Structure 1
Amino acid sequence: MLFNSLSFLLIFLPIVLTGFFICRRYGNVEWIFVWLFLCSAAFYGAWEPRYIFLLVSSILFNYFIAIQIARSKSRALLAFGIVVNLASLAYFKYLNFILQTWSSVLGSDFQPVAITLPLGISFITFIQIAFLVDVFRDRSDDLGFPKYALFVSYFPHLIAGPIIHHKEVMSQFTDARLAAISANHVVGGIALILCGLFKKVIIADTMASYSTPAFHLAAQLQPISFLDAWGALLAFTFQIYFDFSGYSDIAIGLSRLFGVRLPVNFDSPYKATSIIDFWRRWHITLSRFLRDYLYVPLGGNRHGVLRRYANLMIVMLLGGLWHGASWMFVIWGGLHGAYLIINHAFQFLKRQLGDQRVPLVIASRLFSLLVFPAVMLSWVFFRSESWLGAKLMLRAMLGFNGILLPEKYQALLGSLSTQVMSTFHMHTGDLVTFGSSRAVLWMVLVTAFVFLLPNSQQLLAEFDRNSGFAGDLQFRPPLIAFRPTALSAVVAAGVGIAVLAAIYSGVPSEFIYFQF
Structure 2
Amino acid sequence: MLFASQSFLVVFLPLVLGLYYAVSGSRAARQGVVIAASLVFYGLWDWRFVPFLLGMVGFNQMVAMAWGCWRRREWLWLGIAGNLLVLGGFKYADWLAGCLVSLTGGIHMPWPVVLPLGLSFFVFQKISYLVDLGRGQARVYRLADFLEFVTFFPQLVAGPIVRHNELIWQFDASPRGAMMWENIGRGSLLLLVGLGKKVGLADTLGSMCTPVFDAAHMGHAPDMAAAWLAAVAYMLQIYFDFSGYSDMAIGMALMMGIRLPFNFNAPYRAVSVRDFWRRWHMTLSRFLRDYIYIPLGGNRCAPLRQVANVMVTMGLAGLWHGAGWTFVLWGLLHGAALAVAHVWTRTGRVMPRWGGRVLTLAFVLLTWVVFRAADLPTAGRMLAGIGGAQGIGAASVRHPVVLGLALLVALVGPSSQEAVLERMRPAPWLAVAGGMAFVLLLFLMGGRPPEPFIYFQF
Q: What is the DSSP-based 3-state SS (H/G/I as helix, E as strand, rest coil) of the residue aligned with 1:173?
A: helix
Structure 1 spans left out of the alignment, 5+ residues:
351-359, 406-430, 463-480
Q: What is the DSSP-based 3-state SS (H/G/I as helix, E as strand, rest coil) of the residue aligned with 2:271?
A: coil
2:431 to 489, 505, 511: 489
Equivalences for residues 70-89 of structure 1 within 5 A:
70-89=68-87
Q: What is the DSSP-based 3-state SS (H/G/I as helix, E as strand, rest coil) of the residue aligned with 2:147?
A: helix
Residue 502 of structure 1 pairs with residue 448 of structure 2: no
- Cα offsets for 1:219-270 (capped at 9, x unmatched): 1111211100000000000000000000000000000111000000000000
* Aligned equivalent of 1:458: 418
Measured in 2, the distance between the counterparts of 1:70 and 1:234 equals 51
Residue 91 of structure 1 pairs with residue 92 of structure 2: no
1:155 to 146, 153, 156: 153
Deviates further, 9-18 or 370-379: 9-18
- Cα offsets for 1:310-346 (capped at 9, x unmatched): 0110000000000011110000000000110011110
* Aligned equivalent of 1:184: 182
Change (3 A) 1:380 1:181: same
Aligned letter for 2:16?
V
Measured in 1, the distance between the counterparts of 2:161 and 2:131 equals 15
Measured in 2, the distance between the counterparts of 1:368 and 1:251 equals 29
* Aligned equivalent of 1:222: 220
- Cα offsets for 1:156-181 (capped at 9, x unmatched): 00010000011111111124565555
Aligned letter for 2:70?
S
Measured in 1, the distance between the counterparts of 2:419 and 2:352 equals 33
1:127 to 125, 128, 153: 125
Q: How high is the TM-score relative to the length of structure 2?
A: 0.97
Residue 261 of structure 1 pairs with residue 259 of structure 2: yes
Q: Deviation at 1:363?
A: 6.3
Task: Give yes or no for contact 1:181–1:258 (8 Å, CA) kept in 2.
Answer: no
Q: Deviation at 1:298?
A: 1.3
Task: Give yes or no for contact 1:482–1:488 (8 Å, CA) kept in 2.
Answer: no
Measured in 1, the distance between the counterparts of 2:239 and 2:369 equals 14
Task: Give yes or no for contact 2:145–2:168 (8 Å, CA) kept in 1.
Answer: yes
Measured in 2, the distance between the counterparts of 1:260 and 1:195 equals 18
Aligned letter for 1:389?
T
Measured in 1, the distance between the counterparts of 2:355 and 2:177 equals 52
Change (3 A) 1:300 1:403: same
Structure 2 spans left out of the alignment, 5+ residues:
none
Change (3 A) 1:19 1:325: same
Task: Give yes or no for contact 1:192–1:456 (8 Å, CA) kept in 2.
Answer: yes
Task: Give yes or no for contact 1:4–1:201 (8 Å, CA) kept in 2.
Answer: yes
Q: Deviation at 1:150?
A: 0.7
Change (3 A) 1:251 1:215: same
Measured in 1, the distance between the counterparts of 2:409 and 2:256 equals 30
* Aligned equivalent of 1:392: 381
Deviates further, 189-198 or 178-187: 178-187
2:372 to 368, 377, 383: 383
Identity %: 40
Measured in 2, the distance between the counterparts of 1:196 and 1:363 equals 33
Q: Deviation at 1:451?
A: 1.6
Q: Deviation at 1:303?
A: 2.4
Q: How high is the TM-score relative to the length of structure 1?
A: 0.86
Q: What is the DSSP-based 3-state SS (H/G/I as helix, E as strand, rest coil) of the residue aligned with 1:172?
A: helix
1:513 to 424, 434, 455: 455
